[in-house]
Chain A
Amino acid sequence: MSLLLQGLALGVLTGGLYALLASGLSLYFGVMRVVMVAHPAFLFLAAYLAYTMHTAFAADPFLTLPVTVPVFFALGVAVQRLLLARLAPDNLAMMSVLLTFGIALTIEGLLGTVYTGSYKSISMDYATRSLTVGGVHLPYDKIIAFLVAAITLAALFAVLIRSRFGQALRATIQHREAARLVGIHTERVAGYGFGVGLATAAVGGTVLALITPFLPASHWAWIGKLMAIIVVGGLGSVAGAALAAVVLGVVEGLVLVTIDATWATMMFYVFLFLTLLVRPQGFFGGRLAHRF
């Protein structure tokens, strides 16, 4: 019983991290209908930048965020305006996979050149301790990851719901033509939307750097998992992705402690298939997938 509780607690914490990592992917799909294969590569780019700050200035990795978040935002706007916006609209989904695959390979190659292929890791003092509540151990690094994810997602939702930019962004996601009719510069908004998506990668990557060692090729392991989360959540729905992430995190944690790790990893794909069979638009998401 306590093992189940432990699995559940770890699942919730990990699910929160997944939600943060997947939120950007969902945004890109929402605003642009593009499949951004390079998102995990950007996560690890951020992880490496945090590593550099940590080793060069002995700074807490989170102190890199004031630098990396704006840089990644600008990078996202640039990628959208200079590259993705130029793709022919009629086969955007497929061409965007090719383009972002190329970006992912470029980032991996650059990281390999600058940092070599050996493993890097950031280990803070709090990374190996845990809080014990009623026999259940909650690792501090996972708690921190969960809190950072919660804060980031809350800020993201506040922007999406409260701000004028958020309204314009949601309008662009829901119906681009109509949004343009009411005077929204959908091109510019899409660019900013992409920037926001990449800014979440800056945060996600920094958190990831605390939790796991990484090498330039690490991003491949994450593409499948994150894609499964946003499909289950409903393509384009940030809230759906967040919910799906927590659900899948919990399922993974519970299956891991009761059955084994191979089944736990497979759960992502089992859920992906079930979603595509039963409810292709996703369990929590909007109607985007229909039109796609």
Chain B
Amino acid sequence: MALVLKGLAILTICSLGLAACAKTDEPGATQQQAGQPPGPVRIGISLPLTGDFAEPGKGIQEGYQVWADRVNAKGGLLGRKVELIFRDDASDPNRVSSDYESLITQDKVNLVFGPFSSRLVIPAAKVAESYGMLFVEPAGAAKEVFEQGFTRLFYAAPAIASDHYNYLADHIARLPAGQRPKTAAYASLDDPFAQGTAYGLRDRLAAAGVRTVVDEVYPPETTDFAPIAAKIAAAKPDIVVGGTQFEDSVGLVRALQELKVQPKLAAFSTGPTLAEFPAAVKGAAEHIVSPVGWSARSGFPGNDEMVRRYREMFRGEANEDAANGYTVGQIVEAAVNAVKCAEPTKECQDELARHIRQGTFDTVVGPLSFDDKGRPEQAHMIQQYVDGKVEIVLPEGSKAQTAKLVYPKKEW
């Protein structure tokens, strides 16, 4: 075992060395001489393009690319072409720090955009903060992200993790007493984002009088969900809530079916919003609800254009990750156009951050504004599979709503 560890240590060092060598020295790409026309606006981004977060990482990358494509088609940012510089951090928090370090100091980028997932956003934002760079990010929703004292970080989505289920919690609390569920079981991945979503709902439902009968946390290595489902089965809850990503959402749904748990409402984060979900759980997707930050048919300004441009560029349908990446671009674009600078200097970056803090921005996920910690102040919509289709069911009466919430759900 010691040998194994030694081997792994050597590997890690080797890969670090390789990463350092792979960096190219482009001599002063952005240093402008007076009188010369300004070069492109270079934006540095590290994303998990391989490893655990490869799939959402790619989605965000595509969102950034669609945004850059639109900006360049309209003549660029302040008349300068936008150039995106991507690094792959392999979902590794150490790599993400060194990536931003080198993007800022070696490549001397004008701006940086954030990576995917709270776990990578925190180390990345620390680097950006230490160089005084504005840091708008598409996917760091956990509450810890906003407790680090960052002054230039903004999360470009409607709500932080614990507010994702707010509309659902409000809806349940308003149900007549006879229909209102009495007990709820929670199972959540040990991950700041996934847990945040489930606990946000748990705390609100507990306040509304729904008793928590199971509250289980499982580590990311968990591959077998049957025993967790067995615990839930023994408690016979009215509601089952999964603070999930993807494979655990599928694992839980399958295990709950196997153990014959039939809740009146089943809510899972993230998993059901991905296109692979219905096939992975077969017919069981019907009536499962999830918070979702974006909808292709929401009709928010610019959304249709993004969906169309995405289809042209990638021959597929845009997803929430791509929309979040695009949103980051939109916010920074609005700030740059308002402040009229895009330089990596402290003055310019401070000015950009100040502008974002006080404004409200029209984006593809709806109008966004931020509190003093960079938290967005809106809430997620709630989607549900109805007759095999994804419908937006909450909030009631919004123009994005496409169907009414079905409750209680049919058996799976």
Which A residues contact B (CB, under 8 angstroms)? 2-3, 6-7, 10-11, 14, 35, 93-94, 97-98, 101, 108-109, 112, 116-121, 123, 125, 127-130, 132, 137, 139-142, 212-218, 221-222, 224-225, 227, 231, 252-253, 256-257, 260-262, 264-265, 272, 276
Number of interface residues of B (CB under 8 A): 51
User: Is B408 on the interface with A (CB-CB < 8 A)?
Assistant: no
Q: How far is the CA of A9 from the CA of B364 in the complex (A)?
A: 49
- Most A C-beta atoms less than 10 A away, residue of B55, B230, B250: B230
Structural contact, B284 and A213, CB atoms closer than 8 A: no
Structural contact, A7 and B227, CB atoms closer than 8 A: yes
Structural contact, B11 and A256, CB atoms closer than 8 A: no
- Most B C-beta atoms less than 10 A away, residue of A97, A116, A119, A125: A119
Structural contact, A121 and B230, CB atoms closer than 8 A: no
Chain A proximity of B272: nearest CB distance (Å): 13
Chain B proximity of A170: nearest CB distance (Å): 25
Known interface pairs A14-B224, A139-B226; A94-B250 also in contact (CB < 8 Å):
no
Q: Which of A94, A119, A128, A261 contacts B246 (CB 8 A)?
A: A119
Structural contact, A217 and B221, CB atoms closer than 8 A: no
Chain A proximity of B225: nearest CB distance (Å): 9
User: Is B177 on the interface with A (CB-CB < 8 A)?
Assistant: no
| Pairs across A and B, CB under 8 Å, 26 listed | A14-B224, A117-B50, A117-B55, A121-B250, A128-B254, A128-B257, A128-B258, A128-B281, A128-B284, A130-B258, A137-B233, A212-B250, A213-B280, A215-B55, A217-B52, A222-B223, A224-B221, A227-B1, A227-B4, A257-B230, A260-B218, A261-B228, A262-B190, A262-B217, A265-B218, A265-B221
Structural contact, A212 and B58, CB atoms closer than 8 A: no
Provide the B213-253 mask, 1 if CB < 8 A to any CB of A, else 0. Answer: 00011111111101110110110000000000011001100
Chain A residues within an 8 Å CB radius of B224: 10, 14, 252-253
Which B residues contact A (CB, under 8 angstroms)? 1, 3-4, 6-8, 10-11, 50-52, 54-55, 57-58, 91, 190, 216-224, 226-228, 230-231, 233-234, 246-247, 250-251, 254-255, 257-260, 274, 276, 279-282, 284, 412
Q: SS class of chain B's interface: helix, strand, loop or mixed? A: helix
Chain B residues within an 8 Å CB radius of A137: 230, 233, 258-260
Structural contact, A221 and B227, CB atoms closer than 8 A: no
Chain B proximity of A144: nearest CB distance (Å): 12
Structural contact, A119 and B258, CB atoms closer than 8 A: no
Q: How far is the CA of A231 from the CA of B3 in the complex (A)?
A: 14
Besides A97-B7, A128-B284, A142-B226, 5 other CB < 8 A contacts? A7-B230, A128-B254, A130-B258, A212-B247, A260-B216
Structural contact, B281 and A123, CB atoms closer than 8 A: yes
Q: How far is the CA of A97 from the CA of B254 in the complex (A)?
A: 36
Structural contact, B230 and A10, CB atoms closer than 8 A: yes
Known interface pairs A10-B230, A117-B54, A128-B282; A98-B217 also in contact (CB < 8 Å):
no
Structural contact, B7 and A94, CB atoms closer than 8 A: yes
Chain A residues within an 8 Å CB radius of B219: 261-262, 265
Structural contact, A261 and B217, CB atoms closer than 8 A: yes
Chain B proximity of A137: nearest CB distance (Å): 5
Known interface pairs A6-B230, A128-B284, A213-B280; A261-B218 also in contact (CB < 8 Å):
yes
